Structure 1
Amino acid sequence: MSVHSEIKRVTTNTLKELKKKNEKIACLTAYDFSMATLVDAAGIELILVGDSASNVMAGHETTLPITLDQMIYHAQGVVRGVKRALVVVDLPFGSYQGNSEEALRSAIKIMKESGAHAVKMEGGKEIEESIIRVLSAGIPVMGHLGLTPQSIYKFGTYTVRAKEDEEAELLIENAKLLQELGCFALVLEKIPAKLATLVSQQIEIPTVGIGAGNGCDGQILVVHDMLGINKDFSPRFLRRYADLAGIMHGAFTSYIEDVKSGDFPNQKESY
């Protein structure tokens, strides 16, 4: 049983309460019904339907190609599989930057068509208007600072962000701004651990780290990475909790052998 099994539904308020109690928040991604059901049943607090689906589900090099409708398709499956966790959906690249009306339309479409509980948006001051517009419709927003994969072509690299003082100060300012605007939580991706700890201490909303050290209020990993399904990605921050690629390969080769040898199906497996 999970430590939080007494909580019926995790809400944005639950996460704030966990931070107040100094209790860490466990988060993972999911992109389909089957995976979401398993992740939720384990007692996770937050499931992110990430635009990382672009990479792990569709095989794209970046998160940029995934569309709003594709994100909704993934989110619908996840929501159907979840009884307890808070489900947050990434607004994909091009669906909110630079146009607050489009941001609102995108967020409303996700909420209405998927049944998810919140959206996530990458960036700080530069998307302020979009965040205000989405929040004004009563849609909870999770922020995302540090390495923002949707801006990969601007940065040109996936290396650690905010190592220089100027960028670190800007990140702290943006974190405070996102809190002021009304974001309920904040992802901090691939920034120095000291900076992430400082941000987490200076704001009241929970921070969720990925490659941002142990000082954040919670942690998130891509489920395919932590399960060892995806073998090509090995950043320093990733801990693999299983080698599912090896287990699955073994299962597939055994199945092929059994089919070829005529051992499957046997009499018991036939009608």
Structure 2
Amino acid sequence: MHHFIYVKEPRNLNVLTAPSDLVYKEILKKLLQEQSDIKLQHKTQEEQLQQLIKLWSHQMKVPISALSLMAQTGHLDKEDVQRQLLRLENDLSRLLNYLKFNQNQSDFRFETCQIRDILIDLIKKNQVFFLQKDLSLTIDGDWKLKSDKKWLSFVFSQILDNAIKYNKKGGQIIIKIKENQILIRDTGIGILKEDIPRLFEEGFTGYNGHEHQKATGLGLYMAKKVLNNLELDVNIESQIDQGTQVYITKK
């Protein structure tokens, strides 16, 4: 919690002319400017947070509407219900993680991690989405490193979510793991060349995000921030209509 001391500028500040008074005047002006900057910064942060909550609420209404329609019509397909509930769970998890990360960026617990195991757990959790689009998946290799399992899982969930969301029906996701590198490749619709440099900007959705109306523009932004704290790099290569390759490497 930040506490601010509000300093009221004397009305007759201009009459202070002695050397010591001028020093005091400069200090006071600096304090007032700093106070103004802090207030503006907090106002901007608050507006960004309100915008984010609004955006996320809109995104979560999609699966809620789908579930509501199923309940009204009595067409409760088990797999479809699972998909919508999982979508809600994933969206809520991302929002909570985003808020947690912004408030406390030192929340990292390092332990020995098996990359393959983390990815397989995520794949199992999201298998309803793989089945829906008839996606095939191959995973090869492993990498044991000291890292934070929870935050690594969060990063992989962002990348896998995009690989599923923007893939073609009957497409592939290929994961290749080796010492110091993870490659997650999909056969999806790809990313425009001019969008690639901006993918990790906060709120940037690009052409694909606008087309699919499913993107908040925070997944890759957060993934990059988290990976930076884990001393890992992320790079993306893509070709339109051929797919995307995401490389995660040791710095």
TM-score interval (norm. to shorter): under 0.3
Task: State TM-score, norm by structure 1.
Answer: 0.25
Compare the two structures and name the one with the higher helix fraction.
2
Q: Which has the larger radius of gyration?
A: 2
